[in-house]
Amino acid sequence: MLDAERRREIARLGGQTAHKNGNAHRFNPEEASLAGKKGGATVSENRGYMADIGRRGGLAKRGYKQRRAMEQGESDSQPASL
């Protein structure tokens, strides 16, 4: 089995060769946009997954706000009033 560095080197050489031979595909902005829309539409069809990632994002945001409030409270020289 090849180590990660050797695999990366082989892949890099293969990509360079493909470009030299004219076999490599490069996305233009229109193709890239369509590909992104297609992928986004496919993911968005799964309502359960979308709800799950939204929930995780909301929980992460709440945790961030709580940590930030604690950090600011610790760095303030005056105690916070209740």
pLDDT tens-digit series, residues 4-59 = 999 999 999 999 999 899 888 888 999 999 999 998 898 889 999 999 999 999 88
The pLDDT value recorded for residue 24 is 85
Question: What was the pLDDT predicted at 33?
Answer: 93
Question: Which DSSP state fits 65?
Answer: H
At 47 the pLDDT is 93
Looking at residues 54-71, what average pLDDT do you find? Answer: 87
Alpha helices in the chain (DSSP H): 4-21, 29-44, 47-75
Tokens matching residue 78: 């005056």
Q: What is the pLDDT of residue 2?
A: 85
